[in-house]
Amino acid sequence: MDKWRRVSPIALLYFFFSNLKFIVNNIIYLVPIIFTSYDKIINNPWWVFLAIFAALSLLIISAFLQFYFFKYRLNEQSIEINSGVIFKKNLHLPYTRIQNVKLISPLYFRPFGFTCVELDTAGSNKNEAKIVALEVAQANNLKQEILTNTQPEEHNEPSTTPTNNEEILNQRALKDLIIHGVTNNRIWIFVAALAPMADNIVEYMSEFTLSIGLDFTDLFSPQIHAWWQIASYALLALIISYGIVMLLSVFGSIIAFYGYTLSKHGETYIRRSGLLTHHEVVMKLPRLQLVIWQQDWLDVLIKRVNLKFEQSNANLKNPPGMDIRNKIMVPSIEPTQFNQLIDDVWPTNQLASIAFSPISKRFIYRHIFVVILPLHLMIGAFILLNNHWQNLATLIPTFVISSLLIIARWYRWGFAIDHEFIYLRKGLLGVNYYTFPVHKIQQTKFKQSWFMERRGLSTMVLVLASGAQKIPFISTVQANKIIDFCLYQVESSKQNWM
């Protein structure tokens, strides 16, 4: 076994700056305090000076302590890192699990010739191991040392230009993209593309509405118009804004998916699209974790489907709405095209033909009596306490509608399993199907409340590298059987998940 090694004292800089970065990132919470006590701060510059001095010395002391407690060593089969001042952490990372060794040099390390060694595992991105502050030569040695112990996978990414060897699996025409924009909300793509100009647009819009003689406060004032007039204005406004949103969503869809092709080269799937910036997403078949059939209610009506190929979500961090550009998604295809694509990646799947089992009806009772009813009773009590008893009637439609939605949710829930795949169905007004191979499961969870236990029901969660999949309210016998089968498949096949 190797001796414990400390990193170079230059790591003090690393800890100092990463703590400083943390503070600066969180300083936004201090803004209201500074804002409200601005006068006091101005009158007491000494206090400000003292506060900054205290913060700095705290940063220096903690950097020193962090440096002092940071040690690492190489064992026969794993690398070990000790860190933490108050909460001590002792990390063991087996060489077989290291996917990649990266040398990262922060700006303040470069003049001194130091670097951080980041050890990537295929799994979580947040919890990767990092050895801070090694000399570049030493870091390269370590990298070699680690890589000889690992079985590095080849990093030959496919060429970015289409070659003749590629087989085109799917292409989307402009018509499909318009359909996609109408049925799916892609307005965020459009908004993101316009973000730099957003302020000007809003200003222009309000000037425009005033110039054509629309005054909203006037329009919706009950003193001037009868209630039915206001109602019809509101309806009109709703329809118009819905139309605008839809139009922008169509633009968003075209921006993201213009010239869409999905092609295949051996085991590699390549997605290319984009109007302004050309996006290319590459996926190797073994990395595929989950195939999703996604249909919103409009999709159900016009019989179109979005297909999603989900990979490990560890290295994807995107703002909401933007992630679809970095995933392999095929927008608004027909069900037969969906079946062709899923059969192409997983030929033995039976999604199209397998029969789904429903979940227990107690799902409905539980959500109505434990969530919706108490909520309505609480609001009702509040209304009565404030003597607005005439408003009580409004609670009836909301109760009925939310109960109906729960029933719709129950109706959509379903699951099926064959010797290789698990299939889930869920949704509300739309419907989604999730298909994944049993052997890609990372972890299983069995959950049961005391009430469910009495009814012989339980909930199971199957964790994949692309996220967790839940099947609620199924019989305990069945849940046990499925979990046992999943663990058996994973542990006996010894297949890799990627």
Partner 1 sequence: MTTTSPEFSNKQLDSAQLLDIPQFSQQQFQPLEPVYWRVNLLLRVLISLVIIAALVIVKYQTFSPLESFPAANIHWLILAISLLLISRIGFGYLSDCAKGYAIRELDISYQSGVIFKKIVTQPFLRLQHIELKRGPFERKVNLATLQVFSAGGAVHTFELPGLSLEQAQQLRQFMLDHKDVTQHG
Sequence-separated (6 or more) residues with CB below 8 Å from residue 429 = 296, 297, 300, 408
Q: Are 379 and 363 in contact (CB under 8 A)?
A: no
Q: Which stretch binds partner 1 (CB under 8 A): 23-31, 88-96, 211-219, 322-330?
A: 88-96
Q: Are 305 and 338 in contact (CB under 8 A)?
A: yes
Q: How far apart are CA 497 and CA 490, in angstroms?
A: 9
Find the largest Cα–Cα distance for the chain: 86
Q: How far apart are CA 430 and CA 413, in angstroms?
A: 12
- Asked if 105 touches partner 1 (CB under 8 A), the answer is no
- Asked if 491 touches partner 1 (CB under 8 A), the answer is yes
Residue among 122, 139, 256, 422 that touches partner 1 (CB under 8 A) = 122
CA nearest to 344, candidates 431, 294, 283, 296: 283
Q: How far apart are CA 465 and CA 311, in angstroms?
A: 7
Q: How far apart are CA 388 and CA 395, in angstroms?
A: 12
Q: Which stretch binds partner 1 (CB under 8 A): 94-102, 185-193, 229-237, 388-396?
A: 94-102
Task: Name the token pair of 461.
Answer: 């969660």
- Asked if 468 touches partner 1 (CB under 8 A), the answer is yes
- Asked if 3 touches partner 1 (CB under 8 A), the answer is no
- Asked if 129 touches partner 1 (CB under 8 A), the answer is yes
Task: Name the token pair of 343.
Answer: 């059969």
Residue among 78, 138, 185, 326 that touches partner 1 (CB under 8 A) = 78
Site size for partner 1, by CB under 8 A? Answer: 55
State the minimum distance, in angstroms, from the CB of residue 128 to partner 1. Answer: 9
State the minimum distance, in angstroms, from the CB of residue 2 to partner 1. Answer: 15
Which amino acid appears at position 439 of this protein?
A: H
Q: Which stretch binds partner 1 (CB under 8 A): 79-87, 217-225, 229-237, 380-388?
A: 79-87
Residue among 185, 326, 403, 448 that touches partner 1 (CB under 8 A) = 448
State the minimum distance, in angstroms, from the CB of residue 91 to partner 1. Answer: 5
Residue among 44, 55, 57, 94 that touches partner 1 (CB under 8 A) = 94
Residue among 136, 281, 314, 407 that touches partner 1 (CB under 8 A) = 314
Sequence-separated (6 or more) residues with CB below 8 Å from residue 467 = 290, 310, 313
- Asked if 13 touches partner 1 (CB under 8 A), the answer is no
Rg (CA), the chain: 29
Q: Which stretch binds partner 1 (CB under 8 A): 22-30, 89-97, 205-213, 269-277?
A: 89-97
State the minimum distance, in angstroms, from the CB of residue 325 to partner 1. Answer: 21
- Asked if 21 touches partner 1 (CB under 8 A), the answer is no
Q: Are 327 and 309 in contact (CB under 8 A)?
A: yes
- Rounded to the nearest 10 degrees, the angle between the axes of helix 174-183 and helix 227-257 is 140
Residue among 123, 158, 274, 380 that touches partner 1 (CB under 8 A) = 123
- Asked if 450 touches partner 1 (CB under 8 A), the answer is yes
Task: Name the token pair of 274.
Answer: 């984009």
State the minimum distance, in angstroms, from the CB of residue 478 to partner 1. Answer: 10
- Asked if 154 touches partner 1 (CB under 8 A), the answer is no
Q: Are 156 and 267 in contact (CB under 8 A)?
A: no
Which residues sit at the interface with partner 1, rule CB under 8 A? 77-78, 84, 86-94, 96-97, 121-124, 126-127, 129, 150-151, 312-314, 441-450, 453, 463-465, 467-468, 480-481, 483-485, 487-488, 490-491, 494, 496-498
